[in-house]
Copies of this chain bind each other. A is one copy, B any other.
Amino acid sequence: MAQMKPRTLSGFMELLPAPQQQMERIMEILRQTYSRYGFTPLDTPAIESAEVLLAKGGGETEKQIYRFQKGDSDLALRFDLTVPLAKYVALHYGELTFPFRRYQIGKVYRGERAQRGRFREFYQADIDIIGDGQLSILNEAEIPAIIYETFSRLGLKRFQIRVNNRKILNGFYAMQGLSEQSGDIMRTVDKLDKIGPDKVRTLLTEDVGLTAEQANEILKFMAIDGDVLAALGQYRGRNEIFDTGLDELAAVVENLSNFGVPTENFAVDLTIARGLDYYTGTVYETMLLDHPEIGSVCSGGRYDNLAGYYIDKPLPGVGISIGLTRLFYVLGEQGMLNPALPTAPADALILPMTEDLGPAIRLATALRAGGIRTQLYTEAKKFKAKMSYADKLGIPYVLFLGEDEIAQGKCSVKDLRTGVQETVSPEEAAEKIAAGIAALNEGPVIVE
């Protein structure tokens, strides 16, 4: 007798088999793409010592963390992949070669208030390049190429990588004598998209305490578009940090075409700041142009000090992160997961029609050796139930093996989408199915 109602915790994604196949496809594309850019895969524990995870301390993180005792140990589940990376690089510093490029796709945990589309367990897909003491600006320039390649290979076209440089912002505020207020200003300017320039102006004067002139100067700066580099050039020579930032931004922009990033997928956006104290150079956001409400789907930036809490070495880096579980959820909600891609557990289902299962088993063995994902249906069911099994799962090909086929050394292959059935040799069947499956898999996993 059942004793317990089965349930999955709220805020935890658990997919049915068909969407899981789509998720696996996305992960595989991420792994392949990151590998092409020379990132090595990493896997760190989901549990760390709480004091190690919380070395940086502070704020929201501490409230959301899953923390618990086991024996005498004060443990916690990782809430991102950056802190574990910092620990890893500090711990294994002597065994790593720098610049160290790693990707990690792993689950992280945050005990947020449960709400639709928010997850307490979710995958992050991160890449980072860590330098030992220094790191060339070219690494920052390469990041848009990786973002472009990733989203293009997933099937997206209508996305835009938006880039800014924190040194430009910091230098600009310093020019205005507003370095101290820069945090408040950036938080306010961040609302430009949502509330518009007039309300931002009001907030800047009334809440942050700027003069009308200062507020106007900031809004004028933020409104720069068109040839942004040229426009920014007019501010040159007034602040050293600004000039460095502008040089860095120029290096990123000028190399885009060499890196294969089309101009329509890229924009400089001076309103992007991304957090307040961590990033120090280029910062990135990625928008789906038809779905601005989703917010950035891939963000990150350059930082100067990855692991200062663990090691007395300056370890600058640049990294980006995709919130994969949330992205997948949103794509599903928007109907953007390509329904034409096969999500069945198998490419082919063999239905033996004789008592002796030997020939059917040998056929399955041959197809599998040919790389075809094959199931052998041997349950004692009526023919209709067997076909319905293939139908429900969306298995594209069903193979029948009766006395006639066996006598001829052949099998009958039915393409369930077209209804066409042919009697062919096992080799021809394998070729036919492999070609059909390759064609089915040709489409992108995401459609716009």
Contacts and interface: CB of A to CB of B under 8 A. Distances in A.
Contacts of A378: 136, 138-139
B20 A97 contact: no
Contacts of A37: 368, 373-375
A156 interface: no
A41 B20 contact: yes
A392 B136 CA distance: 20
Among A2, A92, A374, find the residue whose CB has the most chain B CB atoms closer than 10 A. A2
Interface stretch (A159-167, A176-184, A191-199, A358-366): A358-366
A68 to B, nearest CB: 3
A376 interface: yes
A120 B70 CA distance: 11
A50 B6 CA distance: 12
A2 to B, nearest CB: 5
A359 to B, nearest CB: 8
Contacts of A73: 9
A36 B373 contact: yes
Given A3-B55, A95-B16, A136-B378, A38 B346 contact: yes
A44 B380 CA distance: 31
B365 A38 contact: no
Given A90-B6, A134-B379, A68 B71 contact: no
Contacts of A17: 40, 42, 96, 102
A379 B131 contact: yes
A13 B47 CA distance: 11
A8 B368 contact: no
A291 to B, nearest CB: 25
A312 interface: yes
A346 to B, nearest CB: 4
A9 B43 contact: no
A88 interface: yes
Interface residues of A, number: 105
Contacts of A266: none
A259 to B, nearest CB: 6
A14 B44 contact: yes
A437 B96 CA distance: 23
A308 B362 CA distance: 35
Interface in A55-101: 55, 66-71, 73, 75, 86-88, 90-92, 95-97, 99, 101
B97 A379 contact: no
A382 interface: no
Contacts of A235: none
Nearest to A120: B47
The 9 closest A-B pairs by CB, nearest first: A68-B68, A38-B375, A40-B345, A38-B346, A258-B361, A138-B378, A6-B310, A12-B45, A4-B55
Given A6-B88, A6-B311, A38-B349, 19 more contacts: A2-B312, A4-B309, A6-B90, A6-B310, A8-B87, A8-B91, A9-B48, A12-B45, A16-B92, A21-B41, A35-B373, A36-B372, A37-B368, A37-B374, A37-B375, A97-B393, A135-B379, A259-B361, A260-B365
